[in-house]
């Protein structure tokens, strides 16, 4: 089997935040704060390759050349759990376009169907696909296909945790897409839940148990 192509951030704080998300006793209000912090770390890693441009800036002492962002960004959360990751991106970047893709997975087949899709023109922008749980990879693969059909040329998948099955699926379907996550877990169970995982991310984020 070929090695999985995935970037797992190794910062000690990221490990601490993942442990808090895994803990079944973490309440929704704290869960949302932890998600925001961890997403910030993930997005900073996912955007390390953004292009820059030179700009002259007048300091109080002289004029100097500075680097500024030279590439636009777009972000597309997969509804509904991906919404918990959105604010961290829009707080970091001013020039960002936002789209939404709604995919719902059938519990008996684990196959996702689209119920909503609203995307801006993605051409010429680095695109972040946000989904906290990369499980089977089916939903992410569908979403990325929609994005590419809407002009996306450089897509990065950003997930809180991932299963080997999901990473393998994306590597196969979209080998050009970089995957950034905070944890690569062991496997999927028969119901296609990630193990050891952290439960249903959306339910824990929004308190809909």
In sequence order, the 6+-apart residues with CB closer than 8 A to the CB of 62 are none
Active-site position among 105, 154, 173, 178 = 105
CA distance to 45, 53, 63, per residue, from 197 (Å): 22, 40, 52
Residue in 52, 109, 114, 208 annotated catalytic: 109
d(CA 128, CA 74): 6
The CA-based angle 156-97-113, given to 5 degrees, is 60
Active site residue 114: no
Tokens representing residue 19 in the block: 């442990």
Which one of the listed residues 67, 90, 203, 208 is annotated catalytic? 203
Based on the residue annotation, tell me whether 105 is a catalytic residue of this protein.
yes
User: Is 109 in the active site?
Assistant: yes
According to DSSP, residue 61 is labeled S
- Residues classed as catalytic: 105, 109, 200, 203
């Amino acid at each position: 089997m070929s090695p999985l192509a995935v970037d797992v951030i190794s910062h000690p704080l990221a490990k601490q935040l993942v442990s808090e998300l895994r803990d079944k006793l973490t309440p929704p209000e704290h869960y949302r704060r932890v998600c925001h912090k961890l997403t910030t770390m993930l997005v900073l890693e996912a955007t390390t390759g953004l292009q820059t441009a030179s700009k002259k800036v007048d300091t109080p002492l002289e004029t100097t050349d500075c680097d500024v962002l030279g590439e636009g960004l777009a972000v597309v959360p997969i509804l509904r759990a991906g919404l918990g990751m959105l604010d961290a991106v829009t707080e970091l970047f001013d020039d960002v376009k936002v789209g939404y893709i709604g995919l719902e997975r059938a519990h008996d087949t684990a196959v996702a169907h689209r119920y909503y899709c609203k995307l801006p023109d993605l051409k010429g922008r680095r695109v972040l696909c946000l989904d906290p749980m990369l499980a089977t990879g089916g939903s992410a693969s569908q979403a990325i296909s929609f994005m590419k059909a809407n002009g996306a040329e450089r897509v990065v998948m950003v997930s809180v945790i991932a299963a080997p099955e999901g990473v393998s699926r994306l590597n196969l379907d979209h080998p050009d897409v970089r995957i950034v996550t905070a944890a690569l877990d062991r496997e999927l169970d028969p119901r296609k839940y990630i193990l050891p995982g952290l439960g249903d991310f959306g339910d824990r984020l929004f308190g809909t148990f």
